[in-house]
Amino acid sequence: MGKLIKYLFFLLIFSSAGLLGYSYLGDISAPQTEVTITVEPHVS
């Protein structure tokens, strides 16, 4: 039982470190473009 808890602890530590590294080094930002839409008023 102790080995299982130790294994899960190390798995948690390594997965947290991997997620932290990916969040700092991974480029997950969306490309930004300018969008312009002309709106014509409806006059009745």
Quick: pLDDT tens for 3-42. 999 999 999 999 999 999 888 887 767 788 999 999 988 8
Residue 19's pLDDT is 92
Residue 4 three-state SS: helix
Considering the entire predicted model, what is its pTM? 0.53
Residue 4's pLDDT is 94
Residue 16's pLDDT is 96
Using CB atoms within 10 A of its CB, is residue 22 exposed (0-12), middle (13-18) or buried (19+)? exposed
Residue 43's pLDDT is 82
